Chains A and B, each alone.
Chain A
Amino acid sequence: MDRPVGRDRSRLRHGAEEDTMAMKKLRSGLLPVAPAVFIALFFAYPVGTLLARGLGQDADRLGAVLTESRFLKIIWFTGWQAAASTLLALVLALPLTWAIANRRFRGRRLARGLVTIPFVLPTVVVASAFIALMDGFGLDEGTLRLRHTVWAILLAHAFFNVAVFVRSVGGFWAQLDRRPEEAARTLGASPWRTFIEVAFPRLRPALVAATSVVFLFSFTSFAIILILGGPRRSSIETEIFRYAVTRTDIATAAALSIVQMVAVVALVACNGWLQRRTLSGRQGLVADRGIAPKRGRQHVSLWAILLGTSVTLGLPLAVLVERSLSTGAGYSLLHYRGLGDKVRFLPVSALEAVANSLAFAVAAAGIALIIGGLGSVAIVHGGKFASRLLDLGMLLPLGTSAVTLGFGVLITLDRGVLDLRGSWWIVPITQSLIAIPFVVRGVVPVLRSIDPAMRQAAATLGASPRRIRREIDLRIGGRALATGVGFAFAISLGEFGATSFVGRRPDQLTVPLAIERLLGQPGDLLRGQAMALSVILMVVTAVVVMIGDRLYPNAGGML
């Protein structure tokens, strides 16, 4: 029994080393398997098959798509409406972006939060809100007709994307040191000149990033164009859907998907190039450049901006709620009460669609939790090659449009053991693919920020690898994971593009699908039901996202 302490210590250290080695084995071995198999089976295989078909057996259709004028018109329309939507969103966002960055006022945080609501709403709800708006203000017909015009599409896209500019550009701007601009003023530059010569160049990286994101969203927009554009306006996305589902011309749909994928890859590459090019050195950053308004004029302009933006963003949603309560003869809960009834154009009642949606959302969130969680741990702890590959694989669905994904799943998972067409699970699996990148993007940076010395310390204190993961990784990454899963739930609830391909069975009718079908039918009663369903979906989504935002602001890396 001489020097027992020393002996104990050496045993402990020895044990810890063994543990670390065991952990290494586990890391490179089992951990990445489940997420890798899932991604390979449900993402890489369908999308790869789609690519192979479009470039292989259906290559002649690709030639037709790239030469025939009706397809070229569609490609051209997809591009210019995206550019116009982006410009409109920027114009609408600019005043509030400026105010949030440059003024300190009560409720600034609240304003930042509220402006995010349109962005997190399901696109079907946005489309409903604009239909309600046109309905409520009589813009369906007459000289100010919005219905089935490109303006309805542009306005809805702008409404949806204002938050991207306000939050990312405004957030960056709020941290830019004021003094270079003050220096410009003392050197004789007018306020306008100062903005052009000093503030704008420093803002450019953030502006480029936000513009690319909004352009990409508008380019791959599906529900808004399908619902608001009417039968004659179509973008690449809506054409893929029409060819694949309505006309069952898989070859043409596959060719259009190729065009879409190439365009998205080109856009992402172009954005990366622009980002690198405009990276203009280190900027002096401050905690908050905002100053309280002092003169009367400054108060007036601030309140005008806040009021104007509130009306622009609040009006469609307010009218949506109003329409859902309006019966033509006063207001009542008629449309809400009617949700339980079976109507002619839906295979099940709207209430059953709500139940379906909730069940799918729970399942999709569960899959996102398991696959996204395991995948994040594997990306952080795995071997270099496996981790890189998995990182890429789990983010790729983010750059793939929902329609492409749904279409790929539709044409591949119909054979042998993988015949999932009849399965209930096909819907939550497809939806979870769209949600997993958000989980990974939220959790991985948090796990990476954990000092490895902390894990080593825990190991020397006798914690097994399993215990380390539970006590350190899960404790620290848990909030980000929970938030990511919350977002997965919300994404699944509102998912429309991919679900419209795979959810073809009556018991697979989700709320967004039901809303789209009800909106497509004439009659005030059906429209009223669509509005009521939209309000329910809006409230549930907003609540889920707000809880997530409280729990862990800016999780999911969305904004």
Chain B
Amino acid sequence: MSGLQIESLSVRYGETVAVDAVTLQVATGSVLALVGPSGCGKSTLLRAVAGLVEPTNGTIAWQGEPITHVLTHERDIGLMFQDHALFTHRSVAQNIGFGLKMAGVDKTQRRNRVDELLALIGLEGFGARPIEGLSGGEAQRVALARALAPEPKLLLLDEPLASLDRARRIELNAELARLLRELGQTAIYVTHDQDEAFAVGDEIGVMDRGQLLRIGTPAEVWRDPQAEIVARFVGHDTIIERKGQRFAVRSDAVTIAADNGDYQGTVISSAFQGDRYELLIDVAGTDWRSFHDEAVPVGAMVHLRVDSERLAPLS
């Protein structure tokens, strides 16, 4: 057994069940992206793995060794907080070097490692600065460097980009994904944004109301979401019913036919995307998404053919 194993883990706060019997594995060197709406229990799951909340049931193990009752500071699991939780009474370098100081690393080695990390996150020369004056993006990088510095066996990232504006988020998300892959860092990345999850995760886990509904590679989850909430989360907004079985309509299942399609609809929008057009089609009151190579005028009636092989059956 390599990496992290979580076995039917539950966290209860009084009456509310924040995490409900979650079982999952994260292989060493891979990144699991956990997605779900806010309040679905993904942050609580992270806090349980870090040892900051005590699970009500279940076990957490690393390489087969149970760590459920190991104290937080002895777990060697890093956590990057939403809003960073930087130490405002210390400089950038003191923040990054904190974990090394706790581990008893001597001053010169510490300084070298901090400089190395500052270079890695592109903030050379920032070491002596106070936390106060940092921009949102800079603070985010410092928080990442602080969490990476003691080389934790597992890094947990709790919505690390949530406090940034959209443009910075896309840029830093790509950078973060590259960095984690280059370092071969085992990680769990929690987000509520599916694009972020797809960009960073070797595997995707979708959570809702404390339960882990689906886990798999991005392609597996996209092709076969299994649950309606998962389907909607990965962007399959249209659900149809055929012979008593419900299906999520993937955008690659729908093509425009010259005539005799399975469905008929009116084009309500058409967005040019360089190599193709993204069409939104109104079919009897529901919006369908389809991609087409040529422009179709808005308001045109079109025939649609559905490839039943590409429909995703829902349970």
Contact = CB atoms under 8 A, between A and B. Distances in A.
A281 B132 contact: yes
A185 B150 contact: no
Q: How large is the interface on B (under 10, 10 to 19, 20 to 34, 35 or more residues)?
A: 20 to 34
Q: How large is the interface on A (under 10, 10 to 19, 20 to 34, 35 or more residues)?
A: 20 to 34
Given A179-B81, A187-B102, A188-B103, A294 B54 contact: yes
Contacts of B54: 294-295
Nearest to B152: A186
Interface string B14-37: 000000000000000000000000
A179 B87 CA distance: 10
Interface in A255-287: 280-284
Contact of B98 (A184, A280, A284, A294): A184
A83 B132 CA distance: 35
Contact of B85 (A179, A194, A281, A282): A179
Contacts of A283: 88
A189 interface: yes
B73 interface: yes
Interface in B110-168: 130-132, 146-147, 149-150, 152, 156
Contact of A186 (B77, B89, B103, B130): B77
Nearest to A181: B85
Contacts of B150: 187-188
Given A281-B130, A294-B54, A183 B85 contact: yes
A10 B23 CA distance: 75
B221 interface: no
A193 interface: yes
A342 B132 CA distance: 69
A183 B155 CA distance: 12
A202 interface: yes
Contacts of B89: 201-202, 280-281
A189 B102 contact: yes
Contacts of B77: 186
B41 interface: no
A183 B102 contact: no
Nearest to A204: B89
Nearest to A179: B85
Interface string B52-86: 10100000000000000001111111110101011
Contacts of A182: 50, 52, 72, 79, 81, 85
Contacts of A197: 98
B50 A186 contact: yes
B99 A281 contact: no
Nearest to B86: A180
A177 interface: yes
B132 A187 contact: no
A387 to B, nearest CB: 33
A349 B81 CA distance: 69
A183 B79 contact: yes
A198 interface: yes
Contact of B72 (A186, A280, A281, A295): A186
Interface of B: 50-52, 54, 71-79, 81, 83, 85-89, 98-99, 102-103, 130-132, 146-147, 149-150, 152, 156
